[in-house]
Chains A and B, each alone.
Chain A
Amino acid sequence: MMTRLVTIIASTALALVLWQALVMLADLPPFILPDPVRVFETLWKSRALIAHHATITGAEVLLGLALGAVLGGFSAIGLAASPMARRLIRPMMVFSQSIPVFALAPILTLWLGYGLWSKVAMALLIIYFPVTSAFFDALMRTPQHWLDLGRIMGANRHRLMWHIRVPAALPGFASGLRLAAVYAPIGAIIGEWVGASKGLGYLMLLANGRAKIDLMFAALIVLAVLTLLLHAGVDRACRKWLDGKAARHGPA
């Protein structure tokens, strides 16, 4: 743990040094690439502004993540339970993945307005497929011996699903959620770029337009840190509640 912390600090320091060196050696003006000191100064001075926008983005991401987890979870179970649903809906899902989510952002803004929900919808759209397919794949790979045992014990399909297939597939669900934690902020930011009056994505666009590159970078850093924290939080929650022991111990 200690060495890990040291590694993180060391690599952050190295990145900052490289950044500073790049600015100095290439003699870049602050409106192209401000040096790290300047960016952190701005970050501190504008902390209230950035925090305000970060809260909005954070809310969008968390809502999108929660809705995506619930919808993705139930979709995966529905698909796993019904061959008919698989035949009808899976081609649709795969086709939907060939549409870049970015292209849908303007439509979502048109439908859901400039507020929170068009961004929540973007985050949800971007994570729905990874969550659903990771969980679905795990649900379709229940060890045959467990299913045999359950059937011999007299379980109907419904109970096999809830008492064996779903718990056995939770580690798969967890890996979908870990991906989602990284993707969801991307969705929210795209939504904010396309049309918003709040949020880190909006702030970055605004700062960029007004040549406040230091503010743009400050917002970017905050976004990156929030994403890392979200991923770490989701990872912990998954370890605690979803990975269970199934990941370590399949049936022998």
Chain B
Amino acid sequence: MRPKPPDLVIEGSARIGDTPIFGPLRLVMPAGRWTCLLGPSGVGKTTLLRLLAGVDDVTDFTGTITASDGLALPGRMALMAQGDLLMPWLDVLGNVTLGARLRGAPRDKERALAMLERVGLADHAGKTPDALSGGQRQRVALARTLMEDRPIVLLDEPFSALDARTRAQMQDLSAEHLVGRTVLMVTHDPAEAARLGDAIHILSETGLTDFAPPKGAPPRPVDDSETLAAQGRLLALLRATA
């Protein structure tokens, strides 16, 4: 089975040249839990996520990024980013097995089909992405993420382009399938954070603010009164920090 996911800790500050990007700050992402990082655009949420992912080559980061099991991070993460990032020249199955293709590893078609089955797209394996709806494309992206089967999953506003109904569906589906992994979700949507966060933090120019998540295990119902109240408080906080 999958190795136990670690806690993930990022501690430090980031700048590009003379422009500070964020903080000194310390963010702990507890093992196997869903951490939401909320904040207005331009406070460095995505930079933080890209630093964690090890793909940011331009930002100067001073500090440490560590996993509680002491193992190195590369090769243990998967990414779902803004938009679905499907390759339009590959069919759905090709997109789900993209990771194997990129590593020069054999492609496990059967497992890929099983993943598509899990997200309800078993009949669409041979289609190209442009034949799918936005919600279907995002489900392919989820299947691709599940195919990678990493203990740590980074989500960068993955559902921001979807309509409200499809977004709620994708949140449910993702919460269900990513359970037990260490998840960091960057979002600017208080509703999303209130629904999904085991831990919620607000990133602003002044630093990191912790926010007590509503009771109940994610994904919380969209009409749960406590979740809605939390969403309201989050929005108020966001507006106050901006």
Interface of A toward B, CB cutoff 8 Å: 145-155, 159-160, 163-164, 167-168, 170, 244-246, 248-249, 251-252
- A246 to chain B: closest CB distance in Å? 5
Residues from chain B with a CB closer than 8 A to the CB of A163 are: 98, 101-102
With A149-B81, A150-B102 as contacts: A244 and B148 at CB distance below 8 Å? no
B89 touches A244 (CB 8 A): yes
Instruction: Give the shortest distance, in Å, between A208 (CB) and chain B (any CB).
Output: 49
For residues 79 through 99 of chain B, which have their beta carbon under 8 Å from a beta carbon of chain A?
Answer: 79, 81-89, 98-99
Cβ of B130 under 8 Å from chain A: yes
A150 to B55 Cα, complex, angstroms: 10
Q: Are B102 and A252 in contact (CB under 8 A)?
A: no
Contact yes or no, B129 A249, CB < 8 A = yes
Residues A146 and B87 in contact, CB atoms below 8 Å apart: yes
Chain B residues close to A by CB (< 8 Å): 50, 53-55, 74-75, 77-79, 81-89, 98-99, 101-104, 128-130, 148, 154, 161
Question: Are B79's CB and A148's CB within 8 A?
Answer: yes
> With a CB–CB cut-off of 8 A, which chain A residues contact B101?
159, 163
With the chains together, A151 CA to B50 CA distance in Å?
A: 11
What CA separation (Å) do A163 and B75 show in the bound complex? 19
B78 touches A152 (CB 8 A): yes
A148 touches B50 (CB 8 A): yes
A152→B53 contact, CB < 8 A: yes
Please give, as numbers and ranges, the residues of chain B lying within 8 Å of A252 by CB-CB distance: 82-84, 161
In whole angstroms, what is the CA distance A252 to B82 when docked?
7
Residues of B within 8 A of A154 (CB): 74-75, 99, 102-103
A-B CB pair tally, cutoff 8 Å: 77
- 6 CB < 8 A contacts A-B: A145-B85, A146-B87, A149-B98, A167-B89, A170-B89, A245-B128
A145, B83: Cβ atoms under 8 Å?
Answer: yes
7 additional A-B pairs beyond A148-B79, A155-B102, A249-B88, beta carbons within 8 Å, are A152-B78, A154-B74, A159-B101, A163-B101, A163-B102, A164-B87, A252-B83
Contacts of B88 in A (CB 8 A): 244-246, 248-249
Q: Which chain B positions have C-beta within 8 A of A148?
A: 50, 53, 55, 79, 81
What chain B residues lie within 8 Å of A245 (beta carbons)?
88-89, 128-130
Contact B89 A160 (CB under 8 A): no
Q: What are the residues of chain B within 8 A of A160 when measuring CB–CB?
A: 102
Beta-carbon contact of A155 and B81 below 8 Å = no
Closest to A242 in B: B89
Contact partners of B53 in chain A: CB under 8 A: 148, 151-152
Determine the chain B residues whose CB is within 8 A of the CB of A159 once the complex forms. 101-104
